[in-house]
């Protein structure tokens, strides 16, 4: 491990070009204009005072930029992660209290530790278990839930906090008559500025303009006197350095050597933090999935290589270091990354500049936000999450793959029925279950030669005849414990149907349940099993294949293997399977296999009873009848 791998920003410093400085600085300023009001808004989603949004927006983005791989990824507080933070901590503390804040900070350390470990041990592949439909379902539900949690600030009403969303809906309906019209007017005014600004220009800093405008309005009109909730006085200066979980040590220290009650309280509090490990893992995965989606989207345009594991290290360190400076969990932001890219950022230094500007704000300008109405922050949140609601994604998923649509809708529904993080677990479990279900009953393709294209095709879909004596099968899956028995039974079922084959008609169009021709006869002698699509086979698959060989041999049918990949062939050799086969090694090509098997078939049956020319070798037997048979074969297509 060299120095550059530990401190990846060294290569940035070495290769940095002077002409990038102005572009990165301007991009950093542009991002900070969006970041400052958004971070305070997202802190409210997480159930924290707005100042903690600024804490999460200063140091973590700098660390993520220096240790990450992407040049344009802008990290900091994001809506979905803030929602998950809120729902994860709410069962253990009341929002806004010291205990709640401490647990949210501890959660950042847990999230960061998990991401860092995955990055260091190159376990980024774990992210693949969260399928796209799960993200679609959760993101759409999360956007609605986030907007709902901000209604109380927009209307200026009191709503009881709950980890489930339905009680919040009921409480809003119950208290809606107590709406503060001044608060509502300010919130709508802010929404008009933000949404109207977007229509004027996509880069219009609507959030900052709305924040400045309503802050001035709040100061001049003293809106707090009319019942409008404002941020109030925020502490200035940088967040103080403190160790995560340090509040437990403080409690223990205050108890002294004989402080039994404080000691018990310490263990209880530590147990609460340990209970956040599960939700922390979910936040780490979901947050990073969002960050990687942004990174990949931008890299398609910049052609910058994506390093999944290095990005995990960057995000993990950002959360860990942030937890030392009172930050709650953060991730990559889609909207701010897009702003950063469109503003012309060339390197990750743009995000360093945006973090430094937030630090300057904390040191000198926090007092300017005293009269900022919470209704404005609610408007900023609502305007940000509206774009996440895309019902067309569900329609697209159902059209593309029915199971994907089911997973997305199920995740969406359970986000409302249960806690949001539970919905992700359910979505992941369902997607894996459906995947296993599909792999347990995969296809076995019956192949035959197309007389026009002269290539082997699916006989069922093309309605072409097959050879009565050589059945050419191709399983399109790996054979393992979950589907091995199905594979054996499916092949036997195909053979049973095949034995009902009537040579006067094509096999595929024949209904085996109604076949009762007296001239029907079991001509099948060989099954050619094409293993080209089989990437793996386990011990269960080997056992079932042996059983299949034995059962078919009792009926006078032999199995031959072709196109076996080297890893699979090695397993077959080690298992001793070839002792059960009539071949000492697998055929390397279908042409070689068919030629060898054709030399062993019943030529009399081929010449006198079979009306088709399936293989080239058929012509050598049928001779003068070839042209007639080809015409008959063409009629079947």
User: In whole angstroms, what is the distance from residue 613 CA to residue 625 CA?
Assistant: 10
pLDDT of residue 57: 97
Asked whether the beta carbons of 134 and 408 are under 8 A apart, the reply is: yes
Which residues sit opposite 561 in a β-bridge? 529
Instruction: Output the six-digit token pair for 363.
Output: 């040191």
In the predicted model, what is the mean pLDDT of residues 303-311? Answer: 87
The pLDDT tens digits of the residues spanning 459-504 come to 989 889 999 999 999 999 999 999 999 999 999 999 988 776 434 3
Q: Looking at residues 327-337, what average pLDDT do you find?
A: 93
Return the pLDDT at 512: 41
Q: Phi, psi (5° rounding) for residue 76? A: 150, -165
pLDDT of residue 585: 83
As a whole number of angstroms, the distance between CA 448 and CA 457 comes to 6
Task: Using alpha carbons, list the distances in angstroms from residue 618 to 428, 451, 506, 530, 558.
Answer: 52, 12, 16, 21, 20
pLDDT at 416: 94
Of the pLDDT bands very low, low, confident and very high (cuts 50, 70, 90), residue 128 is: confident
Q: What pLDDT score was predicted for residue 500?
A: 61
**pLDDT above 90: percentage of residues in the chain:** 64
In this prediction, residues 7-16 reach a mean pLDDT of: 88
Residue 75 is predicted with a pLDDT of 96
pLDDT at 84 over 90: yes
What pLDDT, in 10s, does the model give residues 395-420?
999 999 999 999 999 999 999 999 88
DSSP bridge pairs for 559:
527
**Residue found under tokens 């983005």:** 61
List pLDDT tens digits, range 376-393: 999 999 998 988 899 999
- State the CB neighbour count (10 A cutoff) for residue 263: 15
Three-state SS for 260?
helix
pLDDT in tens, 197-237: 989 888 788 999 999 999 999 999 999 999 999 999 999 99
CA distance 49 to 377: 12
Per the CB < 8 A criterion, the answer to whether 157 and 163 are in contact is: no
- What is the chain's Cα-based Rg? 33
Mean pLDDT of the chain: 87
pLDDT at residue 629, rounded to an integer: 41
**What pLDDT is attached to residue 289?**
87
Judged against a pLDDT cut of 70, whether residue 257 lies above it is answered with: no
Q: How confident is the model at residue 113 (pLDDT cuts 50, 70, 90)?
A: very high
Query: Three-state DSSP class for 493?
Result: helix
**Separation between Cα atoms, residue 334 and residue 331, nearest integer Å:** 10
Select from 3.40.50.2300, 3.30.390.30, 3.40.50.20, 3.30.750.24 the CATH code of 444-636: 3.30.750.24
Q: pLDDT band at residue 623, thresholds of 50, 70 and 90?
A: low
β 470-475/444-449 pair status: antiparallel
42 pLDDT band, cuts 50/70/90, is very high
SS (H, E, C) 7-74: CCHHHHHHHCCCCHHHHHHHHHHHHHHHHHHHHHHHHHHCCCCCHHHHHHCCHHHHHHHHHCCCCCCC
- Pick from 4-8, 135-139, 141-145: least confident: 4-8
| pLDDT at residue 245 tops 90 | no
- Which tens digit of pLDDT belongs to each residue from 360-379? 999 999 999 999 999 999 99
Per-residue pLDDT band for 249 (boundaries 50, 70, 90) equals very low
pLDDT at 632 over 70: no
What average pLDDT does this structure show over 101-109? 95
Position 563 confidence tier, pLDDT thresholds 50, 70, 90: very high
Please check the confidence at residue 82 and state whether its pLDDT lies above 80. Answer: yes
State residue 263's pLDDT score. Answer: 45
What share of the chain in percent tops pLDDT 70?
90
- Concatenated DSSP letters of 73-94: --EE--HHHHHHHHHHHGGGS-
Instruction: In the chain, list all ranges with CATH 3.30.750.24.
Output: 444-636
Residue 514 has pLDDT above 60, yes or no: no
Which one, of 192, 189, 169, 182, lies nearest residue 229 by Cα? 182
List b or e across 269-304, with b for residues whose CB sees 16 or more CB atoms inside 10 angstroms.
bbebbeebeebbbbbbbbbbbbbbbbbeebbeeeee
What does 162-184 look like in DSSP terms, one character per residue?
Answer: -SSHHHHHHHHHHHGGG--HHHH
Q: What is the mean pLDDT of residues 57-72?
A: 94
577-606: pLDDT as tens digits? 999 998 888 888 888 899 999 999 988 888
pLDDT digits (tens, 9 = 90+) for 146-171: 999 999 999 999 998 888 899 999 99
Residue 270 confidence (pLDDT) above 80 = no
| Three-state SS annotation for 316-365 | HHHHHHHHCCCCCCCEECHHHHHHHHHCCCCCCHHHHHHHHHHHHHHHHC
- Mean pLDDT along residues 324-330: 96
Look at the alpha carbons of 270, 274, 279, 281 in this order and tell me if their dihedral is positive or negative. Answer: positive
Cβ neighbourhood burial of 10 (10 Å; 0-12, 13-18, 19+):
middle
Q: Per-residue pLDDT tens for 414-463? A: 999 998 888 998 999 999 999 888 888 889 999 998 888 888 999 989 88
Residue 223 tokens read as 């809106």
Instruction: Compute the average pLDDT of residues 533-543.
Output: 95
Sequence-distant (≥ 6) Cβ neighbours of residue 297 within 8 angstroms? none
224 compared with 523, residue with greater pLDDT:
224
> Using one digit for the tens of pLDDT, what is the confidence trace for 116-125?
999 999 988 8
pTM score of the predicted model: 0.79
């Amino acid at each position: 491990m060299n120095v550059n791998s530990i401190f990846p920003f060294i290569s940035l410093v070495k290769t940095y070009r002077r002409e990038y400085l102005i572009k990165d600085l301007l991009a950093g300023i542009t991002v900070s204009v969006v970041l400052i009001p958004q971070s305070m808004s997202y802190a409210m989603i997480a159930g924290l005072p707005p100042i903690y949004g600024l804490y999460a927006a200063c140091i973590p983005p700098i660390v993520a930029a220096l240790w990450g791989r992407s040049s344009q990824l802008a990290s900091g507080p994001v809506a979905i992660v803030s929602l998950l933070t809120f729902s994860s901590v709410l069962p253990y503390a009341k929002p806004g209290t010291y205990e709640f804040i401490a647990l949210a900070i501890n959660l950042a350390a847990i999230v960061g530790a998990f991401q860092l470990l995955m990055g260091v041990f190159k376990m980024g592949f774990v992210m693949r278990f969260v399928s796209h439909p799960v993200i679609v379902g959760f993101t759409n539900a999360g956007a609605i839930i986030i907007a709902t949690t901000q209604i109380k600030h927009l209307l200026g009403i009191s709503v009881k906090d709950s980890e489930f969303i339905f009680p919040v809906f009921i409480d809003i309906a119950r208290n809606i008559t107590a709406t503060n019209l001044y608060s509502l007017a300010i919130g709508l005014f802010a929404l008009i500025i933000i949404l109207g600004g977007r229509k004027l220009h996509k880069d219009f800093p609507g959030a900052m303009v709305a924040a400045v405008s309503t802050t001035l309005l709040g100061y001049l009109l003293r809106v707090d006197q009319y019942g409008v909730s404002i941020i109030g006085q925020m502490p200035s200066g940088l967040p103080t350095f403190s160790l995560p979980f340090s509040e437990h040590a403080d409690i223990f220290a205050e108890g002294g050597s004989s402080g039994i009650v404080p000691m018990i309280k310490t263990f209880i509090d530590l147990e609460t933090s340990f209970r956040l490990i599960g939700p922390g893992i979910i936040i780490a995965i979901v947050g990073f999935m969002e960050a990687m989606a942004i990174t990949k989207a931008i890299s398609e345009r910049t052609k910058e290589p994506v390093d999944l594991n290095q990005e995990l290290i960057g995000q993990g360190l950002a959360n860990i270091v942030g937890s030392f400076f009172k930050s709650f969990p953060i991730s990559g932001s889609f909207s701010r990354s897009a702003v950063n890219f469109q503003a012309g950022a060339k390197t990750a230094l743009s995000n360093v500049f945006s973090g430094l500007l937030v630090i300057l704000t904390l040191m000198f300008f926090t007092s300017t936000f005293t009269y900022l109405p919470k209704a404005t922050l609610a408007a900023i949140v609502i305007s940000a999450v509206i774009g996440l609601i895309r019902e067309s994604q569900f329609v697209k998923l159902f059209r593309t793959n029915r199971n994907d649509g089911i997973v997305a809708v199920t995740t969406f529904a359970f986000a409302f029925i249960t806690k949001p993080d539970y919905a992700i677990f359910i979505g992941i479990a369902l997607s894996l279950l459906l995947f296993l279900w599909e792999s347990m009953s995969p296809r076995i393709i019956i192949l035959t030669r197309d007389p026009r294209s002269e290539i082997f095709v699916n006989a069922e879909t093309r309605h072409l005849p097959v050879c009565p004596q050589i059945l050419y099968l191709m399983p399109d899956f790996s054979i393992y414990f979950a589907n091995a028995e199905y594979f054996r039974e499916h092949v036997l079922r195909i053979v049973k149907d095949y034995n009902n084959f009537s040579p006067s008609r094509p096999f595929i169009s024949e209904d085996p349940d109604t076949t009762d021709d007296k001239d029907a006869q079991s001509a099948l002698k060989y099954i050619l099993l094409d293993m080209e699509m089989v990437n793996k086979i386990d011990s269960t698959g080997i056992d079932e294949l042996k059983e299949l060989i034995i059962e078919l041999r009792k009926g006078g049918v032999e199995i031959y293997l072709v196109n076996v990949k080297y890893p699979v062939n090695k397993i077959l050799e080690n298992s001793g399977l070839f002792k059960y086969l009539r071949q000492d090694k697998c055929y390397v090509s279908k042409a070689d296999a068919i030629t060898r098997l054709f030399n062993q078939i019943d030529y009399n049956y081929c010449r006198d009873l079979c009306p088709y020319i399936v293989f080239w070798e058929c012509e050598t037997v049928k001779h003068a009848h070839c042209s007639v048979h080809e015409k008959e074969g063409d009629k079947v297509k």
